[in-house]
Amino acid sequence: MDINHISIAQHLVADALFRIEEVSAAVSNEKLERHQKEDAELERLLQ
C-alpha cells in the first residue's frame, strides 16, 4: 500500500469543503419554531 500526503491546497474539493463556514437554511429558525408550536401532531408526539 502506497500512502501519499496531499496538501489541502492541492486538493481543491477538500479545500472547498474545509472552508464552508455555514450552511444556510431554507427556513429561518423563527419560522420553524412558530410552525412547531402550532403543530398539533408534533405536540401529541412529544407528550
* Per-residue model confidence as pLDDT tens digits over 1-41: 888 887 766 777 777 777 766 666 788 889 999 999 999 99
What integer pLDDT is reported at residue 45 of this predicted model?
93
pTM over 0.85: no
Give the up-direction half-sphere exposure of residue 41: CA atoms within 13 A in the CB hemisphere.
0
* Cβ-count burial 16-37 (b if 16+ within 10 Å, e if not): eeeeeeeeeeeeeeeeeeeeee
Q: Find out whether 8 and 14 touch, Cβ atoms under 8 Å.
A: yes
Q: Where are the alpha helices (DSSP H) in the chain?
A: 12-18, 29-38, 40-46
